[in-house]
Structure 1
Amino acid sequence: MAIRTELDSVTTLLGCAPVKTVLFEVNSEHLLARWSSIQTLRLKWPEVKWIAILTQGHGDGNLILTGFDEFIERGELNTGTLIDRLYRPRTVYERTEALGLEGIVDQERIEVISRIIAEQPEIRGYEAEALMCGIHTSEKKKLRQKFEEIFKVTEKRPEFINQRLKLCVFGNSEYGCELGWVFSKKFKRKTLIVDADRLFPSLDLLLEARKTVTDSLEGYDSYQSTGLNILLDAIRKNSLNSEKIMSACSRIKGNSDLYALTGSYNLNDYEYYDKDDFMRLLERIDTCFEVVIMLVNAFIYDAFTAVSLLVSDKNLIPVSDGVLALRSAASSAAYVTERQKIDRLKHQFIAYDADAFFSLSTNDYEALTGSRYLGRIPSNTKREKARKEGKMYGPMMDRITLEAHEKIIIKLMHEMRG
């Protein structure tokens, strides 16, 4: 390996030593002048890998993308990132995105898109964003400034689909709570999160929701009176109505459109409640909420898990532990698809809480999930802190995580619309 800032010394080393990798420091002043010389060396020694070390104001991203095999920001240069760049090469798409070169600068296409947006004043912001997919980041920024009023659409209510939405989150309640927070807070959808994980109910911690319902609902002691217990009993007694549904749901502080239905914390109740009662409850809840998110455990023989996977509009499977966990989740999805005769495309996968440096690439996820990959939710220190302290993460969510959730939701909605 050679770490150099001067081309002459690189040329000398390449001529006399079996160098495999060159780390070359790049800045805006000398990149353009030395680019052609670097390419000459690359043609002469094609087996050598060139990695650019980017300093502040590194210059033309297109030159870096085409002139080097990889790049590392100087502030991120350490053993871990270096090994990652050497042994897990990023795709062109990943490197392009990291440089802020999200797409192409095609003025003719940009003019066409601009005309479409201008001629359709009722166009939704997310529809305009979809039109701009693949355009260079700087050009997107210009378009957003030009059509500033349209891109204030977040203040409107985006009509992704006309019908109400029912989602099942398989094996990861944390992700389901973040999803519900974004649906309700960002998109202003009246959202209910149902804790149907009978082995490990957790909404009281993940959303800081009250575990049990107040004593105004008679006939329950404090240990049994969770929202789910009360509504399932009401189904059995044929006494369920909208008022009782809303009374059994907990309001979430800081989010007026988000509700929680806490699950059963008594394992003795595991076999007490019938799957048919649960299915009837899910049908009735639809009348009170626009988005219903069902949190289930990953035990595919659990009755509530089986029902939720069957009645949902989409099944979302978050995976955060690499190939082994992804293979296990994909096998479970395949089994459920075969046994319950569910369309395989109903199952969608998300890389959740994934480290940017050590997670699989987008292409890997696409291949391993059979093109059912929705996107990546990055890892976050605030999430880790909330997890350790048993607190709600939603109010702490940073812009990067919020935008990652938005992208996944918009992609999901577009796929559902066909």
Structure 2
Amino acid sequence: MSRGGRRLAAVALAAGLLLGTVPAVAAPGPPDAPEYWFDTWQIPRLWSQGARGQGIRIAEIDTGVNAALPELRGRVLAGTDFGRSGDGRTDRQQDEFGHGTAMASIMVGRPGTLGITGIAPDARVLPIAVPLSGTSDASSDDHLGAAIRWAADHGADVISMSLGGRRDPSSDSEPCAADEQAAVFYALRKGAVVLAAAGNRGKGDNAVEEPGVCLGVVAVGATDRSGEHAPFSSRHPYVAFTAPGVNVPSLSRVAGLAYAGNGTSQATAIASAVVALVWSKHPKLTGQQVIARVLATLDGRRSKPDPAYGWGQLDGYRAVTATVPAGAPNPIYAAAAPFAARANAFAKAARVKPPAPAAKQIGSTGEFRIGSSPRLLVPRVLGALAVALAGLLALIALAVVALLRRRPAEPPVPPTPAGPRVQVDDDGVQWHAIIERTAPE
């Protein structure tokens, strides 16, 4: 796959909703594209209960963010730009939609243009610009693996990726690129949680997309206002859950403009902001426990993931307020754990320093004197040589007998697969399977 072709998982529907007077409605946003999840999840009530995203840093790996917009000013930290020199606070997308800016507004924007409001207003966005398709600095290498590591090394609690790149079984040996999988494991080890779009190929080839397919990543699909699965949202065994992704309003990178759009990008941004709310209300939880809480409180929770809905639909209110056992299961982390442990072991071994070389100068071990050499061929020496020779001949004879009795060696046992194996289901979907070795028949 050409990484320069990685897609942004959002579709802008309306070209520049004009700024005007917003009628008084319960949910914020324009009247023809309200942020309906504010009502469904009682977001203002969660805010009043102390869940505002405070103390949570969301690393947004995207096209960059126009941090100069009034609605985002003061809520976007200095990040980095892997396409050009910069700190990520410039949106590099050539289209006015401004994908990175749009996702940031969904997460942390303050009310302004058309009343569009972020879910986690006290969280902070750490923008990491990568040269994606459609940006002014698009490149054949989008540096996604390096971007994930940079986020983990710079204090990210949540790593949000509203993007995806198609994986082709005919040319890609693994569903997830090796450097990206290693980076995800690294981020998990550092305590971050990683979310990514499931993809917008539901009506097309439904191809697997990374980084959503990577082990340990929370892949988010999209639903509409009624909770129905969006036709464009990709269907895969690795989908974790769904979130609102239809007719979602967001800010443009151009001041005073807004768009309404569909996509698993929007669903991922909403889910990332909900994770920030959960973590700000329960700051002592680990990343694994935060995701376990989100999974335990899904609407329509399933015992097995559905290719369209995953384990269920995100319920922001219950994720924050429900009573969830500390040891609640987290199947996403459980599936990644054996592979992450192996990767971590190799990484640790690579960091071990070789032993220091021995000192060149060796101290004295005793004294010696030069004198005349002793005679070797004396009777006692000759007798000892004869005894040694007889013993050697006896050992040789025993070895020959043992060699004649030895059976052919058993064939070597094939090694247990060391990493994720590619599986292809009846629909042609490529996915990870965890292989357990069985006893020989």
Structure of larger gyration radius? 2
Q: Larger relative contact order (C-alpha < 8 A, sep ≥ 6)?
A: 2
TM-score (norm 1): 0.31
TM-score (norm 2): 0.30
Q: Give 1 or 2: higher helix fraction.
A: 1
